[in-house]
Structure 1
Amino acid sequence: MATRKTRVRGLGTATAVGLGLVTGAVATLAAQHRALAVLRLRLDHLEKRVATSHRDANLATQQRLHWELLSKAIDSPELAEVLDIFEVPASPQKRRQYLLANALYTNLLFYYRIGNLSREDFYGRVRGLMQNPVVREYWTATHGQRATLPEGSDEADLGRMVDDLLRQLDEADTEEWWVVGEPPTE
């Protein structure tokens, strides 16, 4: 009978050791699973940052090209005729002014798109920009172009916001233009 007890004890020890190994392996697998989940989250975050950086770099390149083209048109009345897509006839001088107004507005739009301006900041800056009568004329002369923008795009949404702001400015009975309109919430 002594042998049996030893065997049972040996079996119990072996089972305990095996159970300990299995428990250790399960704990190690759980820890590895958590570490893998953290690594996946970090990788996803990095991929999003890289994608955003690429998008911002592409927007910056586009902004620079846009400015170069507008600069050529502003400097040359002959080249500016190519960009004369305004709804009202414009003299060469007026066309150049409209092209600069376009550059100013596009610059604000770009700053918004890359996150340098909040929607509220954009609103405040465009409210100041629209105090210039030439910029307002430009805005009116390009209404048809904005109507072709894809519904839901940043540019279309911000354009409608500016249209609403101009309507409020026109209806306001105060000279304090900087308080007219309700800045949008994010």
Structure 2
Amino acid sequence: MGRLGVWKEALQQHLTSQRYFKTLKLLTLSMGGLALVAAGSVFISGWLIDGVEAANGNQQTATDRSSLGDYFGGVSALFSGTALLMLVITLVYQQRELRLQRQELTLQRAELVASRNELRRSADSDLRGHHVQLTQLQLENPELMAVWNDYPGVPETQARQHLFANLTFSHYLLMLKWGSISDAEIIAHADRLLQSPTFRAYWDASSAAKEKLPRGTDEYHLFNLFNLAMTRTDRETGGASPRRHPD
């Protein structure tokens, strides 16, 4: 998925470069055309003036007929107007190309952000998979529980239940990170889980460690949501409610 995004970015950069060179080429041709029109105007004016002088005998005679020069001035103005119009058209086209390039750059930035988010989600998923595998090894080999020592002094059966409950908590954490579940939905699920004595025992055993999590993280936010659900549960059952901490 990441490699495809790199290819798409390279292709878009290539297309942008082609448009840039196309615009530059058009501008160069327009400026060259303007120079040719100007040179042509000078040449034609000089040729016409020489022709008039030759037809009338000398420069004085041509000067006496200066009204003819006004006509040549009109022709020159026509060429100049045409050149100016070509320049304006080129500038308008260039502005349009620059606007399209800005739009393409905006799309490229959005695509890069989406690619980074997808890579992050993929990394989170891989990390989650490794965590599940390690927990599965502990469930299948109880002697490995002593390595992590998450629940010292807890009977083997209860420790295995705690490990599975922790997987459940991690599952909701991943859903929260991906935006697949809302706070209200998490509280509803947590309320149902905390009514289970087995999950409640896990929560009581792990709350002290979770309370030390860095504030502002997704895991600490999830911890507060579960505490909020437990507060509601204890109100209904008359039990003691934990204190909710600010995120």
Give the TM-score category using the shorter length: 0.7 to 0.9
In 2, the alpha carbon distance for the partners of 1:5 and 1:120 equals 85
Amino acid at match of 1:12: A
**Is 1:56 equivalent to 2:121 in the alignment?**
yes
Q: Which moved more, 1:21-30 or 1:116-125?
A: 116-125
Q: Which 5+ residue runs of structure 2 have no aligned equivalent?
A: 1-65, 239-247
- Residue of structure 1 equivalent to 2:142: 77
Match of 2:235 among 155, 171, 182: 171
In 1, the alpha carbon distance for the partners of 2:221 and 2:110 equals 28
In 1, the alpha carbon distance for the partners of 2:86 and 2:191 equals 70
User: 2:195, 2:233 within 8 Å by CA — same for their partners in 1?
Assistant: no
Normalised by the size of structure 1, how large is the TM-score?
0.84
**Is 1:27 equivalent to 2:95 in the alignment?**
no
- Residue of structure 2 equivalent to 1:10: 75
Deviation at 1:21, TM superposition (A): 1.7
In 2, the alpha carbon distance for the partners of 1:173 and 1:15 equals 92
Deviation at 1:173, TM superposition (A): 5.9
- Residue of structure 2 equivalent to 1:99: 163
In 2, the alpha carbon distance for the partners of 1:130 and 1:58 equals 30
Q: Deviations over 1:33-55 (max 9, x none)?
A: 11111101110111111111111
SS in 1 for 2:84: helix
**Is 1:47 equivalent to 2:103 in the alignment?**
no
- Structure 1 stretches of 4+ with a deviation exceeding 4 A read none
In 2, the alpha carbon distance for the partners of 1:30 and 1:120 equals 50
Q: Which 5+ residue runs of structure 1 have no aligned equivalent?
A: 175-186
**Is 1:152 equivalent to 2:152 in the alignment?**
no
Give the aligned CA root-mean-square deviation in angstroms.
1.9
In 1, the alpha carbon distance for the partners of 2:78 and 2:237 equals 92
- Residue of structure 1 equivalent to 2:55: none
User: Structure 1 101/147 Cα, relative in aligned 2: closer, same or farther at 3 Å?
Assistant: same
User: Which structure has greater helix proportion?
Assistant: 2
Larger radius of gyration: 2
Q: Deviations over 1:14-41 (max 9, x none)?
A: 3322221221122112111111111011
Match of 2:189 among 125, 134, 159: 125
Kindly tell me the number of residue pairs found equivalent between the two proteins: 173
Amino acid at match of 2:99: R
In 2, the alpha carbon distance for the partners of 1:66 and 1:76 equals 15
- Residue of structure 1 equivalent to 2:207: 143
Normalised by the size of structure 2, how large is the TM-score?
0.65
